[in-house]
Amino acid sequence: MNLLIDLQCCTGCGACVEHCPGHVLSQDEEGRPYERYPDDCWYCGVCETECPAQCISLLFPYLIR
């Protein structure tokens, strides 16, 4: 897990999924974002920047922390 996504505040808008340059994120049937391919994250922070509700914070991949 590289990100902390606060699903309480998430509106399911999909912006984080749309912009992630590594195609790491996906939305489940209820529109909730999740890390589908966590091994491919560059901890670039694009998802965090793009989230209009500011509900993503970067934890960094464990090997980097």
Partner 1 sequence: MNRWETVQADFVIVGGGAAGTMAAIRAKELNPDMEVVIVEKAEISRSGAAGRGMDALNNVVVPGHGTVEEYVEAVDIVADGVLQPDITRIIGERSFGILKRLEQWGCRFPRTPEGDYIVNAFHPKGRFLVEMRGDLKKILAREVSSLGIRVYNRHPVLDLVKSGTRIAGAVALDLGTGVLKAFLAPAVLLASGGAARIGLPNTGYLHGTFDCPWCNGEAYKLGFEAGASLTGFEYTCRSAMTRDFNGPGQSTFIRHGAWLVNGLGERFMERYDPQRMERAPAGIRMRAMMEEERAGRGPIAFSFRHLPSKVIEMIEEGIFEAERPTMRAFFRRRGIDLKRTPVEVVMSEVYLCGGHGLSGLVADRWGETSVQGLFAAGDCLANPYGFLAGAMVMGEVVAERVVERAAPGPSGHDARDRIDRLRRALERHGKGRLGVSVRDFEYKFRRLVNEFLAPPKSETKLRRFLHLTEPMLKDQEDLPARDPHEVMKVFEAKAGLFCARMAAEASLFRTESRFGLYHQRVDYPEKNDAQWKTRVILSPGPEGPVVEKERS
Contact footprint for partner 1 (CB under 8 A): 18-23, 36-37, 39-46, 48-50, 57-58, 60-61, 63-65
- Binding positions for ligand SF4, 42-61, rule CB under 6 A: 42-47, 50-51, 53, 55-56, 58
Find the shortest distance in angstroms from Cβ 26 to ligand SF4: 10
Find the shortest distance in angstroms from Cβ 4 to ligand SF4: 10
Work out whether the CA dihedral 10, 58, 21, 50 comes out positive or negative: positive
What is the C-alpha separation between 14 and 54, in angstroms, rounded? 13
What is the C-alpha separation between 40 and 55, in angstroms, rounded? 21
